[in-house]
Amino acid sequence: MARLHGGGRCKGQSMAWRSIADLVSHSGEVALLGAPMEAGSVTPGRCDLAPATLRRTLKRFSTYDVETGAELDLALADLGDVPVQGLMPADGYEPIRSAASEAVAGHGLTLLIGGNNAVTRPAAHALGVPIERVGLITLDAHFDLRETDQGLLNGNPIRALLEDGLPGRNICQVGLAPFANTRKMHDDAKAAGIGVYAIGACLERGIVAVLEEALARLSHTEAVMIDFDIDVIDRSQCPGAPGARPGGMPVRMFFEAARFLGAHEQVRLADLTEFDPSLDVGEITALTAGRWVCEMLAGFAQRAP
């Protein structure tokens, strides 16, 4: 089935509004799976509201991209939500891993909607290959390398994955913010062999150049997942992300990254985390999350059939 239609309108073709929500079905090439985990957050909030908010927001986006003249024509399988509300990350690990693993096995791309960043750890274990052959790229203002001695939190999924056996050389962290991390975290990341790209590098070089380098670093892995922590975006453009900072990634760059990575054949799963609808202003962050889905789908549609 064609997944992108070029510009132009066929004779008799309907001019009715067709939204991204109209692509949702019981089956499809791309899976949408919610993981509304809010417990275990360093800063308490309502990230559990994000999956339902995003689904409602999809009605606001059409399937037509005016910049490319392309029409999205693919099916988006909504697999519902994993029942993890109120569960701590340790207890939510297996339900998320199991549901995400099933989604990945049956679809070309899985979009996992958190929930807080603790969902990234079980997602990385769901790609169908041993953890030492998984590649991980994070777009995040933070290293997420807090110690695990106080338990699993949204602030330590990368530390937990290193302890699980994910090699540091299999990880690239993109968009890290100044004055939002510690020296020890930075030193630990470098010592582990993690590829570190601060926000300044993204702004200077362009996000595609940075991501091309990151993917090249991960070329030895068998499957790649992307953690899109929405707090990587500049706070003025993303009020519904409690961890976002002034001077972060421009939202246009965030969308560019989503489309680029969605098109990459090795990317099997992408999560979207740390969106707290209770903090949103004027639906800015909700619409950002919805547009992220559009960009991921547009990228996936560019893959060879």
The answer to whether the peptide bond before residue 262 is cis (omega within 30 degrees of 0) is no
Q: 59 φ, ψ to 5°?
A: -70, -15
Tokens, residue 288: 């950002």
Tell me if 117 sits within 8 A of 152, measured CB to CB: no
Scan for tokens 């899109």, then name that residue: 228
Task: Give the whole-angstrom CA distance, residue 106 versus residue 238.
Answer: 33
How far is 183 from 154, CA to CA, in rounded Å? Answer: 19
pLDDT at 5: 61
pTM given for the model: 0.94
Write out the two tokens for 93. 């690990």
Q: Which pLDDT does position 7 carry in this prediction?
A: 45
Regions in the chain scoring below 70 on pLDDT:
1-15
Burial of 4 (C-beta count, 10 Å sphere; 0-12/13-18/19+)? middle
Closest CA to 198 of 148, 138, 150: 138
Q: Residues 104, 257, 58, CA angle at the centre, nearest 5°? A: 65
- Using CA atoms, how far apart are residues 107 and 267, in angstroms rounded to an integer? 12
Q: What is the reported pLDDT for 13?
A: 47
* Domains (range + CATH), the chain: 19-301 (3.40.800.10)
Q: What is the pLDDT of residue 6?
A: 55
Strand order in the sheet with 109-114: 24-25, 76-81, 30-35, 109-114, 267-273, 223-229, 134-139, 171-176, 195-198
> 3-state secondary structure string, 79-107?
EEECCCCCCCHHHHHHHHHHHHHHHHHHC
